[in-house]
Amino acid sequence: MSLVVVGSVALDSVETPTETRENVLGGSAVFFTYAASFFTGVKLVSVVGEDWPAKYTELLNSRGIDTSGLDVVSGGKTFFWRGRYLDDMNQRETLDVQLNVFGEFDPKLPEAHRRCKYLFLANGPPAIQARVLDQCPGTQLSVADTMDLWIKSTRPELDALLRRVDGLLLNDGEAKLLAGEENLVKAGHAIRRMGPRFVIIKKGEHGAMFFGEHETYVMPAYPTEDLVDPTGAGDSFGGGMMGYLAEQNDFSPAALKKAMAYGTLAASFAVEGFSLDGLQRVERADIDRRMEQYRRMLSF
C-alpha cells in the first residue's frame, strides 16, 4: 500500500570519537524512506537547495523511492546539520544548524501522494504536520514524530495534532517533557490519553516501549557490536516499522508488534555505518535473517 513521508532532507557533517564525515546525506525523511524501501514503495516529500547533489537523488531513486515530491529551490541552500558524538555514543552535541530552505518549507503534496493510505509525519513544526494531514483525508494510518523544540515552543499546535494522528513516536526525554512525568510508563499512558491510539517511546540502545489501549510492552534493541554512527537510528526505526505495516496493509496489534521488531532491526543496520552506509550494505534477506536471530533472542 502507498506510504508517504514528509520531513527533512539534509546534508550532515558528523564527528564521532574515531572519525569525521563531511556533507553526507542526512535528514529524517532520508533515513525513514531508505529503511521503508526494504518493504514497500515510498513517496518522499521535502525540499532542498541548489547545492543538493544529484547523485543523492539518484541513490534514492535506485531504491524505488518516489522523489517527485522533492522540491529543489533555485538559489537556495539545503538544510545543514553538524553534530559531535561523545565517547558515550548516546550523547551528542549539535554544533551547527542551518535550516536554509527547510525553514520556509510549506509542503504541497502532489495529487497522487494525497491518496496515500499510510502517512508518516517526520519531525517538524506541528502546524506544518497538520497542514499535511489536511491534504490526505483518506489516510488509514497516520503517525507523527516530534522533538523537545516543538514541545517547548509550539505546545498548543502539538496538542491539536495529537488529537488527529493515530500514532506518535518520540524519545524518552521528549516523552517525559511532554507528559510532565519522570516515570516512562506513566508518561506513555499520559501521552496516549492526549489523543493517539498508540505511543512508541524510543530509548536508543535500550530499545523501545509501546503503549496501546489494551497492551504495553518493551521491544529490546538488537545487540549491535559495530556502532559507527547513531545518526538516523530513530528515523530508520520509523521507516522499518511503517514500511512493514504498509507492505502487510495491516496495523492490528499483532502487526504493530512485528513492525516494531522490523523497525528495531532497520535501526541496528543503520548505526553500523555513517549516513546510509550501513543500510546500503544490506538487502531485505539480511534483515529477515537478523529477524530470525532476534526472534530466537526473545524466546525463553
| Confidence grade of residue 91 (pLDDT, cut at 50, 70, 90) | confident
Q: Please give the Cα distance from 240 to 32 (Å, whole number).
A: 7
CB-based contacts of 225, cutoff 8 Å, min separation 6: none
Q: Please give the Cα distance from 247 to 123 (Å, whole number).
A: 23
Percent of the chain with pLDDT over 90: 89
Which of the residue ranges 25-34, 46-55, 84-93, 213-222 would you say has the lowest mean pLDDT?
A: 84-93
| Confidence grade of residue 1 (pLDDT, cut at 50, 70, 90) | low
Which residue segment(s) compose the domain that 280 sits in?
3-298
| pLDDT 10s digits, 157-184 | 999 999 999 999 999 999 999 999 999 9
The amino acid that residue 133 corresponds to is L
What is the domain count for the chain?
A: 1
**Taking residues 211-232, what's their average pLDDT?**
92
DSSP β-ladder status, 3-6 and 10-15: unpaired
The residue to which cell 546534508 is assigned: 11
Percent of the chain with pLDDT over 70: 100
CATH classification of the domain holding 242: 3.40.1190.20
Q: Please give the Cα distance from 238 to 235 (Å, whole number).
A: 5
Q: What are phi and psi of 147, to 5 degrees?
A: -150, 175
Q: Is 165 helix (H, G, I), strand (E, B) or coil?
A: coil
Return the ∠ at Cα 240 (arms to 219 and 1), rounded to 5°.
Answer: 125
| Confidence grade of residue 209 (pLDDT, cut at 50, 70, 90) | very high
pLDDT at position 88: 84
